[in-house]
């Protein structure tokens, strides 16, 4: 198939409807950026959950050798580090509680590795590091059936020997999760409205382009050009606008990652883990939800396919 015609039509088409294409590109750019932000926020929530537990969880820290709670006069740790028997007892109390849905053990080493990701590297290095493996408590992550029903579980284990400290994630992380959650929902709602606007603009652009080309299209149909051949300039136009929109949005998301997160929030807020370039790539390429690299072209190419069928019906 000679594609010379297709590419020359693509050039003419982009030039002819320049302002419409610019409108589509800008709308796509903003909406994809918002959708990308939504994905990044979802990733942030996931990273935080992985490191700190979801707000359905309670963390039951077990005693270490020189447990800090001794200073507050915690009698549970007076016997030194938690023993296997104590651990077993705590676990069985937790598992018997009707409010508990799951219990997961986290060793000192596992906890230490998570801490390394959260705190600056100099906490862990040097001749007398601030944090050492033996200082980090082993723990039980307790998942509750209802995050509001923490009291029963906490009171059941609080006095047990070997239990150093109990952290209610709901209390601590609830706010963080609710902020991330509302930002995520907000950016997705805004993205949906803008994406609808982008769809309508794409539809208008195709209508105008089909009108401008109606004579060519009529002749092509009569001389037996295939529907695909007739539709190809439209599809390529849609693809080009989508690619530009995706590129701009990816750039802005990269700036958000670099200056907003890595050189911004991550520098100032240490108690939360932060998303990295892998998560940025995820927002672009995606999995579930689909990344903007798929979303952008899908938003322009699919309506183009549907509408060109209508306007250039063979």
Q: Rule CB under 8 A: is residue 1 a binding residue for another protein? A: yes
DSSP state of 136: S
- For residues 225 and 4, give the distance between their C-alpha atoms in angstroms, rounded to a whole number: 14
Binding mask 48-67 for another protein (x = CB under 8 A): --------------------
Cα–Cα distance measured from residue 150 to residue 144, given in angstroms and rounded to the nearest whole number: 8
The answer to whether 230 touches 305, Cβ cutoff 8 Å, is no
Q: Is 2 or 19 the residue whose CB approaches another protein more closely?
A: 2
Tell me the H-state helices in 105-145: 108-118
Beta strand residue intervals within 159-239, DSSP E: 163-168
* Residue corresponding to tokens 């980090």: 136
Helix axes 227-255, 169-212, angle to 10 degrees: 140
Site for another protein, residues 125 to 164, rule: CB under 8 A: none
Cα separation, 39 vs 244, whole angstroms? 20
> Would you say 18 or 151 has its CB closer to another protein?
18
Q: Is 2 in the site for another protein (CB under 8 A)?
A: yes
- What is d(CA 313, CA 66) in angstroms, rounded to the nearest whole number? 80
Is residue 121 within the footprint of another protein (CB under 8 A)? no
- Find how far residue 129's CA is from the centre of its chain: 33
User: Per CB under 8 A, does 171 bind another protein?
Assistant: no
Minimum Å distance from CB 314 to another protein?
5
Which of 108, 137, 131 lies closest to 119 in space, CA to CA?
131
| Residue of 5, 119, 141, 311 interacting with another protein (CB under 8 A) | 5
For the bound state, the minimum distance from the C-beta of residue 220 to another protein, rounded and expressed in Å, comes to 5
Give me the 205-224 binding string for another protein, x by CB under 8 A, dash otherwise.
----------xx-xxxxxxx
84 contributes a contact to another protein by CB under 8 A: no
CB-side exposure of 40: number of CA atoms within 13 Å?
A: 28
Site string for another protein, 229-268 (x = CB under 8 A): xx--------------------------------------
Closest to another protein by CB, 12 vs 172, is 12
Residue 241 beta carbon to another protein: minimum distance, rounded to whole angstroms? 24
Q: Write out the residues near another protein by the rule CB under 8 A.
A: 1-2, 4-5, 215-216, 218-227, 229-230, 314
């Amino acid at each position: 198939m000679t594609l010379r015609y297709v590419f020359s039509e693509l050039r003419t088409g982009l030039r002819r409807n320049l302002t419409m294409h610019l409108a589509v590109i800008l709308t796509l750019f903003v909406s994809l950026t918002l959708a990308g932000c939504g994905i990044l926020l979802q990733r942030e929530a996931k990273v935080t959950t992985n490191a700190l537990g979801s707000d359905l969880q309670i963390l039951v820290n077990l005693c270490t050798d020189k447990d800090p709670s001794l200073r507050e006069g915690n009698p549970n740790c007076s016997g030194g580090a938690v023993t296997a028997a104590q651990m077993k007892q705590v676990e069985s109390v937790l598992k018997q509680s009707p409010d508990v849905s799951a219990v997961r053990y986290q060793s000192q080493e596992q906890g230490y590795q998570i801490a390394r990701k959260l705190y600056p590297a100099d906490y862990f290095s040097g001749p007398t590091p601030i944090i050492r493996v033996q200082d980090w408590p082993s723990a039980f992550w307790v998942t509750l059936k209802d995050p509001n029903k923490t009291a029963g579980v906490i009171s059941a284990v609080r006095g047990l020997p070997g239990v150093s400290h109990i952290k209610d994630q709901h209390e601590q992380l609830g706010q963080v999760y609710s902020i991330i959650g509302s930002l995520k929902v907000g950016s997705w709602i805004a993205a949906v409205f803008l994406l609808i606007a982008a769809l309508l603009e794409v539809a208008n652009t195709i209508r105008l382009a089909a009108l401008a080309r109606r004579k060519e299209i009529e002749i092509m149909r009569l001389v037996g050009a295939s529907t695909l051949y007739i539709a190809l300039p439209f599809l390529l136009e849609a693809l080009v606008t989508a690619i530009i929109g995706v590129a701009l949005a990816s750039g802005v998301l990269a700036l958000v990652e670099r200056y907003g997160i890595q050189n911004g929030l991550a520098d100032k807020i240490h108690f939360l883990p932060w998303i990295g370039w892998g998560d940025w790539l995820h927002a672009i390429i995606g999995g579930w939800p689909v990344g903007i690299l798929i979303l952008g072209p899908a938003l322009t190419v699919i309506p183009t396919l549907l509408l060109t069928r209508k306007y250039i019906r063979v």
